[in-house]
Structure 1
């Protein structure tokens, strides 16, 4: 998943660019077991321990000022974000979170184990950092969903946009897709098993010529599921696959990726160019979202106003 394309204004964008001063000295922060509820956000508690953790994280990010207050405010915002993510049924695959964590370690010239040690010495943890990543990814998708529902283009808007560009309707590519899953049960997700299944997936990809053959190939393999996904327009492709599918032609497949189901790849059965009023609206909305995403990276996106709206409506009780 391309995290930079999501609507996030928080420090995650800077973090993913490698902003930890990992080479500097870090004073170990002793673990403190005692904890009590400090804030309740819409019945969701925030503990004093969580505030201490976040304060340590802010210190690692070289934030200044009253870190306890900043940590408290950031956790209140995160509680609101998590609630909205759950309400919209958004689920970020653990594989995407793990990949973002691995990318961050690599950008800082660290192994994942070394990054975990840096976080632990600072009084934070790998698990807490991954939870932070998950929230930012989920919030990005929530904001996109919110913008689509709030600013959906009317038929008149679409017509005006087309007239503004000389009456020409925009076009996009429509793909007929197939999903191939090399199933890996949760209890057996060792690195060795995932590597083996990925080799098997790549071996099937070398034999792939068309979607009509996939089922016959899969019959001779163990725990392989083939699903016809039907027709999907390019702007509607899920973020996990969008970039790789957009580069393919009929009869080609994406590189395999690790997901919560196992090892997967997508096959393009067919593709064609489509252009109608529905496509025009889809393309215009996709362009709008891209522009908003670029603004968000500069700190001027739509998420800040929405977050303020959620905060104003929330019941926040300080203990």
Structure 2
């Protein structure tokens, strides 16, 4: 007995149902492809998501074509980085996402909920984080030597800046942190008593050696290891505090999780290493070099990329 397989054309209703099912279950088919980059699609959904993300951070609506070019650049960057073995794991990206949330005072779940309420998916942020991570590592790794900023260049720029000598000279501080321990959850009077004890020490102590002897003889007090820092390593508020504290004396007491903390200033001396101004100039010069190298590198690899626009591209100046 022969079996005959019959193929009948689908009815319009059945065809509509089939296409609806495929569309609902395939994100790519449910969206139109705006650009193909080396065989990878950028969809209208990707573009709209990135526009929303930029609106959240800048409170401005970016030109659509500008967003498309940004997404193309990211595809090209990630592909180039993979060629050199720069390919962060999903764990790396999740950690970067968590760090971003922490800087905003939010957990990853809170960040996801916050951006979700504005119509942005976490994958949209993670895609941008991935591109930034791989590109920074790639450019710094491949062009490390050409990105170096020499002391000669910094000194020349500093000389031409016209800054006064006080901003050009650096200071090296040698310090010894002191902690008067206060148990966690201690009542206010206990904390205040320790603060008064710290102020009493400030009035008596005239040298670092005296601070060491006195604190070692005290109960519930400790000396931390000596610390040496330059003015370039310290935030302005701390530099100002150390400058106002004479050598051999203690800084004003500060309440911390450990107790009441002070710093014995043991030595201050002028140094030729980076000053805050030198550090500022060095970082700016590096950023300028990096920006130029990054742009030229991206332009080069974009020229060799296969980019197919499926949307009509606006004329320059159009949005």
TM-score normalised per structure 1: 0.42
Structure of higher CA gyration radius: 2
TM-score of the pair, normalised by structure 2? 0.42
Larger relative contact order (Cα-Cα within 8 Å, sequence gap ≥ 6) = 1
